[in-house]
């Protein structure tokens, strides 16, 4: 990462497992407000990024007859 922060350090800072933190920051699921603020600060990102980390990602494929998301 550009800041030198590792996935493990991010996970420790937000208080969640590394896999959970990594998938949240890659847009697979939302983070809580405090978790998002902590991650954004460590990554030297602004409030917009912290807000984005809190959003529910879109699920499924709208063009397909059958949803493609395995969590549905």
36-45 per-position pLDDT tens digit: 999 999 999 9
Residue 22, pLDDT > 70, answer yes
Whole-number pLDDT of residue 69: 61
Task: Provide the residue ranges of all domains of the chain, joining segments of one domain with +.
Answer: 7-53
Q: State what percent of residues in the chain have pLDDT above 70.
A: 79
Mind listing the pLDDT tens digit for each residue in 26-37?
988 999 999 999
Whole-number pLDDT of residue 44: 94
65 is written with which tokens? 């007859």
Average pLDDT taken over every residue of the chain: 86
């Amino acid at each position: 990462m550009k800041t030198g922060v590792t996935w493990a350090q991010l996970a420790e800072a937000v208080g969640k497992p590394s896999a959970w933190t990594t998938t949240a920051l890659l847009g697979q699921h939302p983070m809580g407000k405090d978790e998002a603020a902590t991650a954004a600060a460590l990554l030297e990102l602004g409030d917009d990024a912290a807000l984005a980390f809190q959003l529910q990602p879109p699920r499924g494929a709208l063009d397909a007859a059958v949803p493609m998301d395995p969590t549905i």
